[in-house]
Structure 1
Amino acid sequence: MPQWVTPDRLTGTGMAGAALIFLGYIASNLSIWWLLFAIAGYGVQWFGDSMDGSLARYRKIERPSYGYFIDHSCDGLATLLILAGIGLSPFVAMDVALMALAGYLLLSIHAYLSARVLGEFKLSYLSAGPTELRLVLIGLTITMMCLGSGPGYFGQVSGFDLFVGSVAAILILLFVIQTLAIGRRLARSEATARL
């Protein structure tokens, strides 16, 4: 990387990618080909988001508190832009997209709470992390291009609504399961500490 490329600039690049995704989904109301813009945005967002911390570590210029705070704040905002864009597209109802956002944010809360109470920070669930999620979203976007928006396949509910709704349900269920598991673990640990 040239010296003028800094971790903060890469973080900004990731956010610009999220904005491209948002605009691509919204513009798909005009033409399905705007979804290519969203797909390109996923590449830009992935590059910036995955490289900022790596570059800081490579150059030994880490700022752990600042980096943690900015990176995860931007992750939340980027996810909002992506799912709001999907909800404003002609493919997925906004309430379904917002349920997926709620599921993502619940798992984020779980990760941050676990980091605080256990000292463990986990971003992957069911053997899938941020990169796999991006690949699923790119696949979903390509499927949108192939199938189009059309009428709902099940009355007013489209197949895309069912897919995104199922992902939302899985994320929320994972949050509940993980919360119960960590709660039991903490209860046992604190009970043992009292003995």
Structure 2
Amino acid sequence: MNSGFKAKITPIDRIQENLVARIERRVLNWLCARLPRWVTPDMLTGTGIVGAFMVFGGYAGSNVDRNWLWLAVAGYLVHWLGDSLDGSLARFRKIERPRYGYFLDHSCDGFATTLLVVGIGLTPYVELEAALIALAGYLLMSIHAFLSVRVLGELRLSYLNAGPTELRMVLIALTVCMYAAGREPPLIGALNVFDLFVGGVGICLIALFLVQTRRIAARLAKEEPPRN
């Protein structure tokens, strides 16, 4: 008799409605069909982490020379390649490992995002406090997504027509602006335009978390009314 326990796998409905989703899917499918067989999803996950370290290193190096910011831009591209292709390749080759892949992918996502956003706060262009507000907002939305998988069976990968790819595009644009503009003078108190933008994004994410939490809680309350 086998006494081992194996968790039941429930199919997850992936919801991705970001602006570039269709184009990105075509590009990813094209790349998956052409990757050599020795390239594995785990290798691509590792590539994404390497890209995140490149971004962090580029941002840290910008304290010495702003040309280090180009390393951060290159890191975003490497991170996109690894982070977007790992699951796509597994599904393309039909070699998914649902529990392992879900756990590893989202664990690496959290670590990589921490590197990216803390890296922004270590540049001479953005205050660390503003970056940490953005990180808090992103992680709250990640928690919301993971809870939705548990209670709804849905993994929402985009909100307000924006997802991880759009976020990387915004961060690349921010990095190029930091390179072009240099240190901006304060606008409000000690905060410059970059601080206000990064902190503002974080506040918007926190507000979105609260709105989505209220919406999902109301939906669940109707589906599970109080017991008398």
Q: TM-score interval w.r.t. the shorter chain? A: over 0.9
* Aligned-residue identity in percent: 61
Q: Please identify which structure carries the higher helix content.
A: 1
Matches of 2:85 and 2:63 in 1, distance apart? 32
State TM-score, norm by structure 2: 0.83
Tell me, in whole angstroms, the C-alpha distance in 1 between the residues paired with 2:204 and 2:137: 8
| 1:190 to 2:224 alignment | yes
Which residue of structure 2 aligns with residue 115 of structure 1? 149
Comparing 91-100 and 170-179, the one that deviates more: 91-100
SS of equivalent to 1:187: helix
C-alpha deviations, 1:66-88, integer Å up to 9, x for none? 00000000000000000110011
| Distance (Å, rounded) in 1 between the aligned partners of 2:189 and 2:179 | 21
- Tell me if 1:31 matches 2:65: yes
1:51 to 2:88 alignment: no
Q: Which runs of 5+ in 2 are unaligned?
A: 1-34
Superposition RMSD in Å: 1.3
Q: What is the TM-score normalised by the length of structure 1?
A: 0.96
Q: In 2, Cα distance between the equivalents of 1:79 and 1:152?
A: 27
Structure with the greater relative contact order (CA < 8 A, sep ≥ 6): 1 or 2? Answer: 2
Alpha-carbon distance in structure 1 between the residues aligned to 2:220 and 2:94: 35
* Deviation, structure 1 residue 155: 3.8
Conservation of the 8 A alpha-carbon contact between 2:184 and 2:193 = no
Among 45, 51, 56, which residue is 1:11 paired with? 45
Residue 149 of structure 1 and its aligned partner are, at CA, apart by 1.4
1:158 equivalent in structure 2 = 192
Q: Moved runs in structure 1, 4+ residues, more than 2 A?
A: 150-155
- TM-superposed CA distance for 1:60, in Å, is 1.5
- Return the offset for 1:9: 0.4
**Count of aligned pairs between the two proteins:** 194
